[in-house]
Amino acid sequence: MKLKNLVIVLLIFNAVSVGQSQVQDLIRQGLDQAYNMELNSAEKTFNKILVLRPNSPLGYYHIAQIHFWIYLGSRDSGEYQVFLKYADMAQERAEKVINKNPKDYLTKYLAGNLASFRAMAQATNNSSVDAFWSSKKAVNYYEETLELNPKFYNAYLGLGLFDYAMSFVPDFLKWAVNLTGLSSDKQRGFNYIKTAFRKGTEKTEASFHLSKIYTDYLAEYDSAFYLLQSLSSRYPSNTLFIYQYAVSLIKDKQLDRANDMLDHVISLQNKKLPQITALSYYRKGEIYFKKNQFKSAIRNYEKFLDTSKEIDFIGFAALNTALCYKQTGHEEKFQQYLQQAKGGNQDIFEDSYAKQKSEKYLSSGITPLELKLIKLKNDLDAGRYRIVYDSLKTYAEKIDSREDKAITYVLLSEAALNLKKYSEAIYFAEQIKNIKINSEKYTKVMALLLTAEAKYFSGNRINIKDILEEAEDNNDFEFKDYIQSRIEWLKRRLGK
C-alpha cells in the first residue's frame, strides 16, 4: 500500500514538473516573439498557458504586458481597456497565491510588475494621482520580494526605474510624490538597474533601460551602443530598440547612421505601435534640421505632426518647422507654426522651451543674427566644428546683444574644444562670465562646463571638481538635463 501511494505521489510530482516545464517553455517562446514585435503570435502563445494553468496569474500577466506595450505605442483607448482587463485578472490570481503563501517572492515580484505597468499606463492616460499610488504599490511589492529573497536581482530593475523616473516629476506634482512617500535618486536608480542587468535574469528589459540611462543621464554613448546593438541583433524587428539606437547616435552626432536606422524603423511598418514610426519622422526632422537641410526637415517634421498620437514634442517640432520656413523665406508659414509651437506637453523641456521661444519670436520677431546662430548651432550638433570656429572667431566681439554674444561664445568655446584648441576654449568660456544677461542663462553654466572639459582634456586638472560643482549647483536653466549628462560624464572620468 505504501509503495502504491509512493508511486501516485511520484506520478503527481512528475505531472506537475512537466506542466511547469511546459509553461516555462511557452513563456520563453512568447517573450522572444513579443520582443521581436510578433505580438499576435506572442499572445497566442501566452493563451496556451491559460489552458494549462487557468488559475495561475502567469498567462494573464504576459497578455496584459503585450497590451500595455501596444497601448503605450498606439495611445489606443481600447488597448488601455484590454490591458486593464488582463491586468485585473492577473492581479486577482496573484493575490490568491500570495494569500495562500505570503513567502512566494516570485508572485510578489510579478504583482510588482503589474502595478508598475498600471502606473505607467495611468500616467500615459493622464491619471497622475492614480499612477503615483500604483507606483507606491509596485515599490512595496519589489521591496517585499527582496526581503524574502535578497538575491532575486530582477526586483532591482523595478526599484531602479522608479528611483530614476521620479526625479523627473514636474514641480506641480511633487506633492503627490510626497503624499505617497516615494523617493527619487538618479544615481541609486542607475546602480539598481545595473545590478539587475549584471546579476538578474531579465537581461532584455534591463539592457534597454540601462541603454537609455547611459544615453540621457551619463552621455556614455559607447556603452549605450554596445547594449542596443546586441538587442537589435537579437530582435531585428523590434522598432523600439532600433529607434532608441538611432536616438543615441543622434546625441553622439552620428547623424547619417541614425538616419539609416530610422529609415529601417519606418520600413518595418509596425502597425501595432505606430507612435514609434511617428517619432522616427520627428527624429529624421531633427537630423535634417541639424544638417541645415530645411526642406527635408520640414517634410519629416510635418509627417510627425500629422501622425503623432500624443502631444510630446509637438511644440518643439512646430518651432523647428517654423524656423525652417523662416530660413527658406516663407514668412506666413513661419508665423503659422509659431502659433502651433505654443502647444505640446508643457511638462517636458522641449515643448516648454518651444512655447517660450515662439512667444518671443511672435512678439519681437527674429533677427538675422539669431537665424545665423541657429544654423551654426546646427553645424556644431552635426560635428562641423571648423565651420563654427572660422565663422565666429573674429565676429563675437562685434555683437551688441549680450544674449547673442553669450551664445556665440558658447558655440566658439565648444568648437575650439572639439578642435583640441583647449586654451582658446577656456578663453572663450571665460568671456561669458563677464556678460550680464537677462535670458539664455544656461550659457553661464555651459561656460563652467566647457572650462572644466577643456582643462580635463588638456591634462590640467587643477580645480576641475570645484568648477564642476559650481556648474551643477547653478544648472537650473534651459538644457538642464543635457548639461547634467555631460557633468556626470566628466565626474565619472575624474572619479576613475
> What are the tens digits of pLDDT across the range 114-145?
999 999 999 999 888 899 899 999 999 999 99
CATH of 2-231, one of 1.25.40.10, 3.40.1440.10, 3.40.50.1100, 1.20.120.1200: 1.25.40.10
- What is residue 496's predicted lDDT score, i.e. its pLDDT? 59
Mean pLDDT of 29-33: 97
Position 171 scores a pLDDT of: 58
Average of per-residue pLDDT across 25-52: 97
Q: Poorest-confidence range of 196-200, 328-332, 345-349?
A: 345-349
Q: pLDDT digits over 144-187, tens only? A: 999 999 999 999 999 999 998 877 665 545 555 565 667 778 89
Domain 384-496, classified CATH 1.25.40, yes or no: yes
| Mean model confidence pLDDT for the chain | 92
| Residue 235 CB-density burial (10 A; 0-12 exposed, 13-18 middle, 19+ buried) | buried
The predicted-structure confidence for 198-231, as pLDDT tens digits, reads as follows 999 999 999 999 999 999 999 999 999 999 999 9
Q: How confident is the model at residue 5 (pLDDT cuts 50, 70, 90)?
A: very low
The larger pLDDT score, comparing residue 347 to residue 380, is at 380
Grid cell digits, residue 452: 572644466
**Average pLDDT of the segment spanning 246-263:** 98
> Which of 75-79, 177-181, 426-430 is the least confident region?
177-181
- Sign of the torsion formed by the C-alpha atoms of 234, 240, 244 and 245: positive
Mean pLDDT to the nearest integer, 250-264:
98
Of all residues in the chain, the percent with pLDDT exceeding 70 is 93
Domains 2-231 and 384-496 share a fold: yes
First-to-last alpha carbon distance for the chain, in angstroms, is 70
State residue 440's pLDDT score: 95
pTM of the model: 0.92
Whole-angstrom Cα distance, residue 279 to residue 312? 10
pLDDT of residue 180: 60
Contacts of 370 by beta carbon, 8 Å cutoff, 6+ apart: 404
pLDDT of residue 14: 36
* pLDDT score, position 176: 56
* pLDDT at site 21: 83
| Amino acid 184: pLDDT | 74
Least confident segment among 126-135, 412-421, 448-457: 126-135
**How many CA atoms does the CB half-sphere of 178 hold within 13 Å?**
6
Percent of the chain surpassing pLDDT 90: 87
139 Cβ contact list (under 8 Å, min separation 6): 112, 158, 159, 162, 182
Q: How many CB atoms lie within 10 A of CB 181?
A: 10
Is pLDDT above 80 for 354? yes
Q: Which residue has the higher pLDDT, 392 or 13?
A: 392
| Short-list 324, 28, 46, CA closest to 202 | 28
- Give mean pLDDT, residues 379-408: 95
Domain parsing of the chain, residue ranges: 2-231, 384-496
Q: Report d(CA 263, CA 284) in Å as an integer.
A: 8
| C-alpha cell of residue 276 | 514609434
Please check the confidence at residue 19 and state whether its pLDDT lies above 80: no
How many of the other CB atoms lie within 10 Å of CB of 344?
24
Q: Which residue has the higher pLDDT, 317 or 7?
A: 317
Q: Mean of the pLDDT values across residues 36-49?
A: 97
Other beta carbons less than 10 A from residue 357's beta carbon: 21
Average pLDDT over residues 388-408: 94
